Chain A
Amino acid sequence: MQNTNYNALQSLIFNTSFRKWVLGEEGADKAYWESWLLANPDKQALADEARDFIYALNINFQTLSPSQAEQAIAAIMQQLDNDEERHNPAVTEAELIYITGSKRTYWWVAAATIAIALITTAILYTGKKNDPLGSFMAAKGEAAYTTVYNRGAADTIIALPDGSNVTLVAGSNIVYVKDFTAAYREVYLTGKGFFNVVKNPAHPFIVYTNNIVTKVLGTSFWVTSYPADSGASVIVKTGKVTVFKRENFKDASLTADAPGAKIITPNQTVIYNKNESALLKAIVPKPVVIIQEPAKKDLVFNATPVIEVFTKLQELYGISIIYNNNAVAHCSLSASLEDEPFYDKLDIICKAINATYEAIDGSIVVYAKGCN
């Protein structure tokens, strides 16, 4: 009996929702707890006791002012940069290892002769099946590919045969088809790289990874796919890219209208989740203005219809904003928006027109209740 009492007391004291209500914090569920007390008059004494404890425990521990915290955080980031500069000098030629197809074959032959007794056809077969890079290279034979390892501690830029380039993050590697005049410009990435692709619609550029495939005509974008990680992602900087699940990408000629393919544009990202084996389209955490002309960046509104405001935001960030025309028809905004991050701008606008929003599938959906 005593025991359950303590449990009941604990479950109130340490209940976040109850605590918010007691302390009158924002977002407290006032209605719930008031009706809970009305419905359970026998719990009044317990609630009172819990309240005393909460008051007693609610000590303002702010021992560090926000500016002190900021300084300390800046010091950490500064130290990190210093450390990296000291430890990670630019990648040297020795750290950048090119292996052309023939060399790879020699290695393979050497290894095969040593382990000849152990390697059976069965192992080879299953090995190939579980080896996404192996199956990538099987298409043309290993001699047709060049592999570049970045064994250095800094990022480095690798030039590709067609004038495109890839910034290869430390520890990553790429394998590319030597002959970029073939129908497709094909690359396999392990790790993380930023691709800057020369436009050539006649020869689509395809980046393969363990789980996803990215196909572009000419754009710049990030691809991340670490073997140890359970996911992968693509972030577009300029242009438009199409992302497929590797298992669905049976043929290099597949285009964006293939089932399950995701098209993304700047400020959007596709994240691959291995557990769910799903491609998820989303907005990057910190969208940036994609329009260069500074004249268009100003966002000073004076009783401007909110539809115009949304249109302007769409232009600036290239992120589509979906709303019900009727619901926002009479809404207007007076505000000056400048340097705030994208989501802060949305917060300000939606608060002003009594609306909420949600990011769904790479777009913003605004739920408006209407204005008078």
Chain B
Amino acid sequence: MGFNHLPKDDLLLWKRFRTGDKEAYAQLVSRHYSNLYNYGSRFTTDEAFLKDCMQEMFLNLWKNRFTINETPVVNYYLLKSLRRKIRLEGDRNKKSAARAFNFFQAGEEMEQSIETALILQEDGAEKIKRIRQLITRLSKRQQEVIYLRFYSDAGISEIAEIMHINQQSVYNLLHDALKQLRRFSAETNNVALQESLLILLPLLPQIFLKISEKIQ
């Protein structure tokens, strides 16, 4: 999830790229392609359109290598460029623009990866599914803020930069989104809490044993 490479490495590559180093450029492209694609695919279902946008964005980047600025975080710079490119091309090409859809769209991928949640008895999985459904009911911008915060580790100011809105708006979007999601989760929590305690009950002696071992 997110970016497991160091922004510091990116900066060095960026520096070399700006002096016309094609090798550094190729590394930048391959480091960021997949994550950018994932972000871009939140705006359109048209794969060919998205790939074209990305190719053009990257080729422009190379064309401007000598005039482009130093950038604090490469990752966010690229996210912002791609977002702008998709918007621009989408406006030009009405068909693709109409395809815009949810950031966390319901469907197959929403069903996935619940198994990663360890224990997850039936109702645990139910709860997570329910939160996911609620996420898809958030406004698109709320979803985007959450996506950027969660998947790109972007801070408030970086998100503002990428989405081209002010920081207070980002903060509000995030705050309201969590508030809406939480309203539901609070309703179910009580029931869930009781049930999970019941499940833990037979395990209690073992837990105490473990703890006392540790203390010794």
Residues of A within 8 A of B (CB): 3, 6, 9-10, 13-14, 16, 19, 23-25, 49, 52-53, 55-64, 66, 69-70, 72-73, 75-77, 79-80, 83, 169-171, 192, 224, 226, 228-231, 285-286
Chain B residue at minimal CB-CB distance from A58: B113
Asked if A64 contacts B38 (CB within 8 A), the reply is yes
A-B contact pairs, 16 of them (CB 8 A): A10-B175, A13-B150, A23-B116, A52-B128, A55-B120, A57-B146, A58-B116, A63-B38, A72-B55, A73-B26, A73-B29, A192-B19, A229-B15, A229-B18, A285-B13, A286-B23
Q: Which residues of B contact A24 (CB under 8 A)?
A: 116, 118
CA distance A13 to B131 in the complex (A): 14
Chain A residue at minimal CB-CB distance from B181: A53
Interface of B is mostly: helix
Beyond A6-B178, A285-B12, list 7 extra A-B contacts (CB 8 Å): A14-B153, A24-B118, A61-B41, A61-B151, A63-B37, A76-B59, A80-B62
Asked if B118 contacts A80 (CB within 8 A), the reply is no
Q: Which residues of A contact B82 (CB under 8 A)?
A: none
Interface residues on B, range: 35 or more
Asked if B20 contacts A192 (CB within 8 A), the reply is yes
Residue from B34, B109, B128 within 8 A of A60 (CB atoms): B109
Asked if B118 contacts A229 (CB within 8 A), the reply is no
Q: A23-B116, A56-B135 are in contact. Are A76 and B109 (CB under 8 A)?
A: no
User: In the complex, how many angstroms separate the beta carbon of B198 from the nearest chain A beta carbon?
Assistant: 16
Cβ < 8 Å to A, chain B residues 120-152: 120, 127-128, 131-132, 135, 146, 149-151
Question: Does B209 interact with chain A (Cβ within 8 Å)?
Answer: no
Cβ < 8 Å to A, chain B residues 87-120: 104, 109-110, 112-114, 116-118, 120
Q: Which residues of A contact B15 (CB under 8 A)?
A: 229, 231
Could you say which of B19, B37, B179 has the most chain A C-beta atoms within 10 Å of its C-beta? B19
User: In the complex, how many angstroms separate the beta carbon of A90 from the nearest chain B beta carbon?
Assistant: 17
CA distance A369 to B146 in the complex (A): 43
Asked if B59 contacts A83 (CB within 8 A), the reply is yes
Question: Does B201 interact with chain A (Cβ within 8 Å)?
Answer: no
CA distance A60 to B149 in the complex (A): 16
CA distance A229 to B110 in the complex (A): 46
Contact with A along B9-33 (1 / 0, CB 8 A): 0001101001110111011011001
Asked if B174 contacts A10 (CB within 8 A), the reply is yes
Asked if A61 contacts B38 (CB within 8 A), the reply is yes
Q: A49-B185, A229-B19 are in contact. Are A6 and B179 (CB under 8 A)?
A: yes
Question: Does B66 interact with chain A (Cβ within 8 Å)?
Answer: yes
Q: A6-B179, A16-B2, A77-B29 are in contact. Are A52 and B113 (CB under 8 A)?
A: no
Question: Does B1 interact with chain A (Cβ within 8 Å)?
Answer: yes
CA distance A228 to B64 in the complex (A): 14
Asked if B131 contacts A52 (CB within 8 A), the reply is yes
CA distance A169 to B19 in the complex (A): 10
CA distance A144 to B109 in the complex (A): 71
CA distance A219 to B175 in the complex (A): 61
User: In the complex, how many angstroms separate the beta carbon of A10 from the nearest chain B beta carbon?
Assistant: 6
Question: Does B51 interact with chain A (Cβ within 8 Å)?
Answer: yes
Chain A residue at minimal CB-CB distance from B147: A57
Q: Which residues of B contact A285 (CB under 8 A)?
A: 12-13, 24, 27
Chain A residue at minimal CB-CB distance from B39: A61
Q: Which residues of B contact A49 (CB under 8 A)?
A: 182, 185, 189
Chain A residue at minimal CB-CB distance from B15: A231
CA distance A354 to B203 in the complex (A): 37
Asked if A224 contacts B19 (CB within 8 A), the reply is yes
Question: Does B58 interact with chain A (Cβ within 8 Å)?
Answer: yes
